[in-house]
């Protein structure tokens, strides 16, 4: 069914009134999604649950609070369906933990990643953004950043849903009135495609991404450091002790950051002989991709040897932030009451480099009137 919801901004305290599912034996199975979600637990005056399915039985669920991916059901090597995405099973938990900085599955903007000291200059004018991550601005910074708002939603059909939002000139310190549309598409090749579009009426910076946490084992109650990663990247952007980029580009050769050949993520994640591991408390860095915008070439793969689930990743962006869940600590209660421990999932946030507005030598994130921001990222699932 096509659903359209009115857009509204909100601060972290949303005050949702939630209708709970009847969890007794009388609960009809057809009221639950394949991942066990109850739509009523996402239903308020302004929010809902949206479900995409394909011809192979794959299912992906979303909510328009933060434009979030809530669950991703894919088959494992034995044909059993597994949920490979961390998240919550009701709106109230998204509200609660979102206020604590949890971005499970959320759309991120206006600027994904960190801007040092929350400051940048564009066309000779200086801008100050909210500071929310040490001395820096992270993921838009303010209480109405994209992950903290309700998006207008339009489910086009069983395999496409789009989310729309606007952001006013000066909101969270950014210039320009912007319009943003994000379309999620579930293909019959078991690929989840995310297409981001944006326009502005004044020169601004824009760097959109998604903060999905992947655990391909289907069991988020333990870490998944045995998952095997490849990243087609020869270098990373170095970070300081506050995880802000320094401007230095470091070769991965001979370091724990070399994933050009398949390597278990846990093999070198605690190698504190490397200062970058110390600064990031593990992996929380931007890899400079060798694919150079060619979305037909995978920039990386992730494989779980237990479930056999294999994920290929594609993007036209120049970088990806690989974050290894270092700050998960069991305090976030997820779906089915599971407490997510440290490194129980990984993020692969396609992006321009962090703090690019302050590094003119890097690919530009400037968007001007008459231009269109357009970028696509794909996560494709299979088994090995």
28-47 pLDDT tens trace: 445 899 999 999 999 999 99
Grade residue 12 by pLDDT with cuts at 50, 70 and 90: very low
Domain spans of the chain, in order of start: 1-223+322-384
Is the pLDDT reported for residue 19 higher than 60? no
> What was the pLDDT predicted at 21?
53
11 confidence band (pLDDT: 50, 70, 90): very low
Tokens coding 383: 């088994």
Catalytic residues: 211, 349
Rounded mean pLDDT, 209-236: 97
232-268 confidence digits (pLDDT tens): 999 999 999 999 999 999 999 999 999 999 999 999 9
Mean pLDDT, the chain, rounded, equals 92
Q: For 54-67, what is the mean pLDDT?
A: 97
The pLDDT of residue 41 is 97
Residue 22 has pLDDT above 60, yes or no: no
* CATH topology classification for 1-223+322-384: Beta-galactosidase; Chain A, domain 5 (2.70.98)
């Amino acid at each position: 069914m096509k659903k359209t919801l009115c857009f509204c901004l909100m601060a972290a305290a949303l005050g949702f009134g939630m209708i709970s599912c009847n969890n007794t034996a009388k609960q009809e199975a057809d009221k639950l999604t394949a991942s066990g979600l109850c739509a009523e637990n996402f239903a308020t005056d302004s929010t809902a649950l949206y479900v995409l399915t394909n011809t192979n039985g794959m299912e992906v669920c979303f909510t328009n609070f933060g434009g979030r991916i809530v669950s991703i059901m894919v088959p494992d090597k034995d044909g059993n369906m597994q949920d490979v995405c961390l998240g919550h099973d009701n709106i109230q938990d998204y509200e609660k933990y979102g206020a604590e900085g949890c971005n499970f599955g959320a759309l991120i903007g206006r600027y994904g990643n960190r801007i040092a000291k929350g400051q940048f200059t564009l066309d000779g004018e200086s801008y100050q953004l909210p500071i929310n991550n040490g001395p820096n601005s992270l993921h838009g910074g303010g209480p109405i950043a994209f992950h903290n708002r309700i998006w207008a939603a339009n489910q086009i059909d069983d395999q496409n849903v789009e989310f729309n939002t606007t952001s006013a000139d000066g909101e969270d310190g950014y210039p320009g009135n912007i319009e943003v549309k994000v379309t999620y598409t579930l293909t019959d090749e078991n690929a989840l495609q995310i297409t981001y579009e944006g326009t502005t009426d004044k020169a601004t910076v824009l760097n959109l991404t998604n903060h999905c946490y992947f655990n391909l084992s289907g069991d988020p109650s333990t870490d998944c450091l045995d998952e095997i990663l490849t990243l087609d990247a020869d270098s990373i952007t170095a970070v300081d002790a506050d995880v802000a980029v320094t401007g230095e580009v470091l070769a991965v050769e001979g370091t724990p950051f070399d994933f050009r050949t398949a390597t278990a993520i846990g093999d070198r994640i605690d190698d504190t002989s490397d200062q970058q591991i110390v600064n990031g408390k593990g992996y929380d860095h931007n890899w400079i991709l060798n694919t150079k915008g060619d979305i037909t070439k995978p920039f990386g793969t992730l494989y779980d040897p237990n479930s056999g689930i294999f994920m290929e990743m594609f993007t036209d962006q120049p970088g990806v932030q690989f974050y290894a869940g270092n700050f998960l600590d069991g305090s976030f209660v997820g779906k089915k009451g599971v407490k997510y421990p440290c490194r129980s999932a990984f993020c692969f946030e396609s992006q321009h480099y962090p703090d690019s507005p302050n590094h003119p030598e890097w690919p530009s994130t400037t968007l001007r009137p008459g231009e269109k921001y357009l970028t696509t990222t794909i996560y494709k699932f299979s088994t090995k």
